[in-house]
Each structure stands twice: as structure tokens, then as C-alpha cells.
Structure 1
Amino acid sequence: MNTVARTITDAEWAETRRAGLAVGAQLARDAGGVEGVLLGYQKRLLRSTSEHAVTICEKSRRIGATWGVASDAALTAAAVKSAGGMDVFYIGYNKEMAREFIDVCGMWAKSFEQAASEVQEFVFDDGDPDSNIQAFRIRFASGFEIIALPSRPRSLRGMQGFVILDEAAFHDDLDAMMKAALALLMWGGRVLVISTHYGVANAFNKLIEDARAGRKPYHVEKYDFDDALKDGLYQRICLVTGKEWSPEAEAKWRAEIVASYGDDADEELFCVPSEGGGIYLARALIEARMVLDAPVLRLSRPAEFTFLPKEHREADILAWCKEHLEPLLKKLDPERQHAFGQDFARNLDLSVLLPIEIGKTLRRTVPFWIEMSNIPFEQQKQVLFYLCDGLPRFVGGKMDASGNGAYLAEVAAQKYGPLRIEQVKMSTEWYLENFPPLKGAFEEGSILLPKDADGIDDLATVQTIKGVPRVPDVRTKGADGKKRHGDLAIALVLAYAQTRSDLIEFAYRPASPEALPEENGIFGDQEGDGMWRTPLGARLRGGI
């Protein structure tokens, strides 16, 4: 018999939440408060946050660690300043987490019989007149309050108190959130960073590694699924749900939970950040292919460069190309075919331009790549054309034509012809088709790249999300402090895909720049010149 799932109403959901909070409140009253109701690992976490300015907690999923932290938040905000009281700022990565945390804090406040307001929803002012940030709070008679804020660094500007960053691995910019939170330590604040893992390349795992290596003065706590079970997690579940506990029942339940997570159990339950499950390319594998002592060219200009006169911008970039790019182009093997890929960005991320060589044994080699930051559209075009004109046996490229990248991809196709330049609209289907061959090249050792730490980080961000390898919507920070979004990974998969395409070579190359058609359109701009010009390279020689 087929059944149709019924959508739960808001009223039913609210009633379910009230029932759950009521059970927690009853437990707190019956057990005599925090010491009686909290399990061992929850108590240890609270002791850690009281003894250390910054505590990092890596944990199993759904063991109630944050539920225990809410009791600490309620006690902290309810206390007067002389007793260590202060404001508490909770920051999750979505609105639902914020509301749930505030609800639990309200439950604890009532259990402690502290004078506190009802949960209030309000518009938080972070100083940006264009923002409309929904937040939640509870006010206490002590004068302090618990506020649940969005994951935006400026939300903490000018604040003072205890900051809780929940599920930190899933915040868009954990580095920026940490920078904002740490500012609160100067006047006696505290910071708790708590999360399950989300891969070895994630900023949360790097934070833990820095702390354990002594590079950061942070205290680390770890509570995995078995730690929680030993401290009575399943016994507590049985108490709440009315089931009978026994060692045999717990063992069976544990096995079922572990099996339900499958390959993700290590990361989700046992605090082992994934290397090859969610992470698509293992860092060790990437490093094994980064063997070339070759440069990474980084081109950046200040904001005012965009508004310099055209001739100044062009002269500046031309000089840069001749000094940095031309010597590398001259070193390329004139007998081998060359292609490229580009991941375009204008402001927020990096624009990466990556040439690739097809070797005699079909091994692909990336001789160098170019990272452009805050470079105007026209000057990115200038660098792109300089590269393409200098690549021996140029067989084309694939370019990210999503968003603003569509302009550069289009003018490149106009100059070099649509047979050589593919304007790619990135999609799940495209990723599914083109990432696996690239991964195979890494595994077979048929691709080589320059050694670069930021490049490793970019490639390691690729994850399998709902069965599709792609770069998640999480930004990292490079050695130069600039934000990165897996930019090299996208440029590389585009370039490698081009080397697997039907490659076309052309019969001629202009003898001098003066022989090129005008760059300002396919129609001449000289007086009387109304003839349509055939795109450069329209005469075919053949392909492979």
C-alpha cells in the first residue's frame, strides 16, 4: 500500500519543539540542575570553556554537545558582572540553528529559575544600512543577554562577551569569523568553536592542526560517538524515549547508527576528517603530482588602476607580460601542442589562466599558471591574448562563461574562432563528465604541475556533493591573505578537458602584431572598411 508523506504544519512543529524542550526541562529539574543532567563530555566541555580563553571542540554529530553549551550560555548571561557574567553571542550558519539554540537557552533559564525575557526576534543592526538581519535574543535581569546572530564577521563589531561558533566547519568564511571573535578576548571575553568535521582541507581542521602543533594558543577538546556512548548517551536516549536500556540493545543501536552513515561514519561520528570520501582529490595525491620547479605568476593591481587612462593600463600590463610571461612562453617546447583553461573572476575571487602541454607520451604538463586579482576586464583580455599568441601549436581552450566570464570567453572565441575556444556554462552534468578523467590523470601519474601550497589547497577543496564532484561554496584564504574559491581546480579541469577534445590546429600565425585585425570588433573601424573579416585562423589544417 502506497502512502503519501504529509507535510508538518508550523503549529505541529512548534508543539513538537515545546514537547522536546519540556522533556529537557523536566530532566534538569529532576536531576538537580546542570551537574545532574549533563553527561560527562558535556560537563568537560563546560569546564574547558571556563578555563581557556579559546576552546575548539571537534565532535560527533548529534550527541547534544551544543545542548549542553546552551546551559553554559544561560548561566553566563544570567550572572552579574562580578560573578563572571557577560553577553553571549551564538553564531550558527543558518536561521534555524539560531532559533533552536535560543529556545534551548530559554529552557535552561526557566530550569534555573532565572529572570529572563521570552525569546525575541528582532532586526539586528550591523552598521550596513542595506542589510536586514533577523536575529534572536533573550534578556536577563543581570542586564546581559544571549543573542543569536548570522554568520557575518561585522555582526561582532563593537561587541564584548562569550562567542559560540557552532558547526564552524560549515561557515562560509571561518577565518574572518575567528578574526572578529578573537577581538573580544581583549576585555575578558571567551570563544568556543564547535563542529563536526568537513574534510581535511577545511578551515576548521586547519584550526585544530594549528592548535595541536602549538602555532595557536587554543585548547582542543574531542568527543566522538563512542566517547558519548561511554558517558551514557544511549542510556539518556532510552530515558527520554521510554525504551529499556541494556548493553545488548546499546550495541545493536550503535551498529545500526554506524551502518546508516556508511562511508561517512569516520567523519560524521568519529572525528576523522575525510580525505577521500567527501574530498575528491587526496592531498597526498595532489602533492605527488606537483613536482615541477616552475613559477606561479600572480598579477594584482590596486583599485585605482581600473580608472587610469586606457593607454596607461595597456602599457603597464604589456610591460608585465614581456617581463614575466614572455620568458616562460619562450621555454615551451615548440613541437608539442598547447591548450589552456580559465576560471574567470573580477573582484571577489581569483581569475586563473592555466596553459597545459600535451607531451609525446600524452602526459599533460602545466608549465605555469597565472593568477589575476582585481584586474579589469580589458587587461585580463590583454593577458589572455598575449598567452594564446605565444603558445606553440595552440589548440584552443575552454573558458568559464558563467556570469561576467561570458564577456571574455566571447571575445576570445571571436578572435581565435569558436572551434578553438569553448564558452563553458558550468553545470552538474559538465562536472560529472569532466572531473573523473582529471582525477584519473592524478591517479595514473599522467599529469604534472608546479609546486604551490595554495594550488594544493584549491585542488583539495573539490568534494563529492550529492554524487557530483565540484567546488563547494566555501572560501579559503591563500598565503597572501586573498580569498580563494578553488579557482585553480576549475581552471585545471577546463584545461584538461580541452586536451581531451577534438583538437584543431591552424595553418598560419601572423608574422607581427601589426598583421592582426583590429581588436575592437569583427568589422573594421577605418573609414571605408565595411567588409566582414574572417575570424583569425579560419583556414583549417587538420586535427587529432
Structure 2
Amino acid sequence: MTAPITEEQWAEARRTATEVLPGLVKELGLPKALLSYQSRAISMLESTACRVLFIEKSRRIGLTFGFAAYAALRAGRAKSAGGMDVMYISYSQEMTREFIDACAMWARAYSDAAIEVGEFLFDDSDKEGERSIQAFRIRFASGFEILALSSAPRTLRGKQGVVMIDEAAFVDSLPELLKAALAFLMWGGQVVVCSTHDGTENEFNKQIQAILAGRSKYDHLRIDFDQALKEGLYERICLVNGREWSPEGEAAWRQEIIDFYGDGADEELFCIPTAGSGAWLAGPLVEARMSLEKPIIRLELPGDFLHRNRIERAILMAPALQQLKEALQRLDKTRLHALGFDFARVADLSVATLLSTTRLLKREEELTLEMRNVPGDEQKMLIRLILENAPRLVGAAFDATGMGWTVAEDMGRLFGFRTPDSPAGLIDAIKFSTDWYRFNMPPLKTAFEDDQIALSKDDEHLTDLRIVKVIAGVPKVPDVRTGEGAKKRHGDFAIALALAHFASRHQWTEYDYQSVAALAEGMGDEDDDNAYGRRHW
């Protein structure tokens, strides 16, 4: 096996790339000289709508070279074309020197006039005394400059332009640096924050989680090692080093890099911050949100249910069916509703959770139906009953993995599938993936933290929510079960709640009518199928 690539070998490859890239630009043209993810980042930054961009990335994928391309473009322009100063900040002098070299190379490739490239001492005075740091600068004929600093100087305040913070998770004080950088936005500036991860509690990861949760409106981009390879990273390395690319060669090189980082590969290469060992949701936080007294209907059928006659089966189903009908009749017809359904048939529970949305956009649990050892047809009957009677239903998200697909499919036939081409459908058939959890669990946690969700008091539901852990950087239900004997649980309510919360955040349109007579009577006739915007298919 080839030895793992060393830091010196990688640096040499980068120096080679710097030397040949101007010719590559000339030969291929600018768009092709950039890899897809580099072009994507620059395209986002060129958009007038992109004011703040956070990028979580793999280490050493050449994104800094893409930033250098953008910096040279921006500083080389006239003011009338959107030109402005660019300030680059990283945690090491070597990175700032490398960035300036790359910017100078791109300026030559663009044929921009860089009238001065050099080093100088930057005054970083504080109340404890005078001090200076080594910095790097490129001045352009446009009148603008690229300024690269190896720390976070307080004198960043008062300037304006584009601020690029590279490897932001490793700077001395990212919160303070962001305060200074975000002031640039007032004068039309731009802020780019890029980094590999350095733990779940790092400020950089907290900012990323806030974006994914919808709490922050900043733009976001994620580029891991495999994505970079798929978009041509190793092919470009082969090109600039005069080597022939092959799938086998790429696979071997990929494994060498992963072996080099060892236990740190997930964080360094695959954008997965080192996970904490605690629960995803703190117990006291969950208990604080359990403030309601809404029905939790539990139906467990005997193992020989399907072997009994029709009357016996009806008797066994009757209590849960009656409780469900009564709960549905008590729903507030002025509220929006959304359903989440986690399917199981043998070992685990099937759980359906119905949420309503108040006028203040708080999600409240209205009812939960738990089914153990309930055949598929009976599950479909009960779920259909909820869907047909939940007022102003905006969506229903179904676990569509394994046998769950059959329930999602049959409900989709009746109520319409929601797809990008058909957003009016009600049924989302969810094939769970790491990305689904990554993007949809943070908004649920935000709802708990911001007191925007209320649940029924239940110790088993508390256990289900507490079992969720951060696994490989993503909140998931681990492969463990709680409870005793045949009554074990597998975080079933947590999944149903996450699905319901996901469905409740859908865009929706109410397109049929409300009964004037029912509105005049207040709550109206609960049997009026056309009252209060009930959907028809």
C-alpha cells in the first residue's frame, strides 16, 4: 500500500497547482478552471441576495483557491462595477501567505493590474500596550486592495468591504470577530465564514445549527470530501501534476487521506463535528414543554387477532375507535393541523401524532395514537379516519421505509402525494436518510428551546425524546430499545413528532370554501364536510 500523503507532499501539490493554474485558465477558460463546488460558492457570493455565507467543508479541498478567485475579481473591479476591499482572516500566517499568493496568481490570470504585492506590519494595539502583526496586501489599480491577516484585529472595525474568515472554528474568538465583521453589511459589504468543524460546542457549529434550524437567515453551503471527489478534486490533482486519472487511483488516494486522518476523518473530511455524549434534548427542557392534557390512545391487539371472527375483531377495535372519534370531534376547526406517522408491525410501535398550529405559530399536540401488533389494514383505517377528520390539514408525513411504504402509498392515492411538481398534495412519503435528519431535526429542537411546542404529559414519550442522540454529528434514534419484555420502545414517538413537525412547516393553500352558516354559529356543525376549509380530493 502507498504511504499516507504527508503535509509536505500536499503542500508541494498545492504549489504546483498555483504555478500551472494561470495556463490552465487560459487553456480551459475561467468556468472550467474552477471545480463545480468552487464555482458554486463564487456564484452564491456574486448574488446580490447573498450577504452572509457560512460554509462547512472538508479540509484541503481547494476552496481557499476559489475564495482567492473571488477576492481578485472583487478587488480588481471599479467601484461602479461593485468593486470593494477584501479582508481575509485566518488563524495562521502560513494560510494568509498562501491566500495572497493565490490571489496574485488569479490577478495575473484575469490580467488585472495588481500594482503592489507585499508584506507590512499591521498595528493591533490594545489597552495593554502596542503590538504589531505581520500582514499581506495586494493593491489594485481599481483603488481597492486585498488585505490578509493571521489573527482577528480589533481594527477591523471601521473598515468596509468583503470579510472572509477562513477556518473560523479555530480563530481565537469567533463571536467577537463576527460582531466586527457583520458591521460591514451596513455599507453593502459581505461576510464569508468557512471552516472545517472543531466539535459540536464550537461557535462555528452553533452558527451552522442555527441556520439549519431556521433561526438564522444566513446562506449555507456544505462540501465534504466525497462530494469534492465526485465533483473532480482528484481529477484536477492528476491534471495539474501530469498524472493519468483512474477510478482505482482515486479510490487508493481517497483511502490514503482517510487513513492519514484516522479517528479524526469524520470531522476533518466529512463535516461531522465531534459528537457529545449527552442526550439531544435535555430532560428538564422536554418536561417543561409537556403542559397539555390531550388524549394518548393506545391500542394493542392479541397475536391471534386475524384468526378471530369479524365480530370479535370489531369488539377488540371498538374502544380505541371510539376514543379516536371523540378526540377528533374536539379538535379546534379554526387551527391548521399536521400529522406524522411512524410505521411498525412486529417489534416496535406504530405512532401517529397530530399537531395543531396556534395563531402565534406554536405547535400543540392534539392527539397521539399508538398501535402495537395492529395489522396493516386496521392501521390504514385508523390513519384514514384522522386524515379525513382533521380540520384544515396542511400535510401528513409518513415513514415510507420498508413496509411503511404501503400505508404511505394507499394514503397518497386518497389524499394526493406532495412532490416538487405537485405541492398541493397532502402526503409526504419520507425515505429516512442522514440528510433528512440533518436538516429537519434542528428546527424541532429550536421549537423546544423557544417554547414553540407543547406536548401531553407522558413518561414514555419523555423517554422516547430523551433517547435521541447526536450520532456522527446528526440527531438520530440509536439502535437501542427501552422498556421491558414485549413492551419495548424504539424512540417511536420522537420520530412521529419529528415527522409531524416537518409536515406542519409546509407551505399551504386553502382553496375550497367555508360554510357561512357554520361560521355564524361559532363552532358550527361538526358533520358539515364543507365547513372550515376541509379539503376534497
TM-score normalized with structure 1 length:
0.48
